[in-house]
Amino acid sequence: MSNKTDAPQAITISKTPPGLVLEWKDGFRQTVPFIILRKECPCAECRGELTPLDDPSMLPVAKPLGPNAAVCRQMYKVGGYAVGLKWGDGHNAGIYSWEYLRALAEAIALEQADENAIQH
């Protein structure tokens, strides 16, 4: 059984649908679409965190994603615990830990299982 913080056994890029195919030692395999990875970017800017220079009375506003925002231009290793993705809009601040990727993949698998149950 894999620990949720274990690195995937394999990470490949899928063209259809465009995303990361993640496989773990426990046999769990899931494609996480790039659009979900981009929308769920874990960086402080995308999560709406304030810095000491921000006006605390202003609520963070989600920035709309441009046409190339979910196009993955590069994937790179971050230490032994994560990958980083460089997006078509130049954004590259998100560090996607193995634990975070596993959580996203499991949420997608659960959503797909629910959709299949409703259809049948």
Domain with 102 in it: 10-51+63-119
Per the structure block, which two tokens stand in for 88? Answer: 């078509």
Q: Looking at residue 96, which CATH number applies to its domain?
A: 3.30.2020.30
58 in a domain, yes or no? no
Q: Cα(102)–Cα(1) distance, rounded to whole angstroms?
A: 13
pLDDT in tens, 58-107: 665 667 788 899 999 999 999 999 999 999 999 999 999 999 999 999 99
**Residue 109 included in any domain:** yes
Percent of the chain with pLDDT over 90: 65
Q: Are 116 and 18 in contact (CB under 8 A)?
A: no
Q: In this structure, which amino acid lies at residue 74?
A: Q
Q: Alpha-carbon distance 58 to 19, whole Å? A: 34
pLDDT value at residue 59: 60
The pLDDT value recorded for residue 2 is 56
Q: What is the pLDDT of residue 57?
A: 67
DSSP, collapsed to helix, strand or coil, labels residue 50 as coil
Q: Which two tokens stand for residue 23?
A: 């496989």
Q: Is the pTM of this model over 0.95?
A: no
Count of the separate structural domains present in the chain: 1
The stretch 19-31 carries a mean pLDDT of 97
Residue 5 lies in a domain: no
d(CA 33, CA 16): 9
Integer Cα distance of 1 and 108 in angstroms: 20
Higher pLDDT, 27 or 60: 27
Cis-peptide, bond into residue 17, ω within 30° of zero: yes
User: What is the reported pLDDT for 114?
Assistant: 79
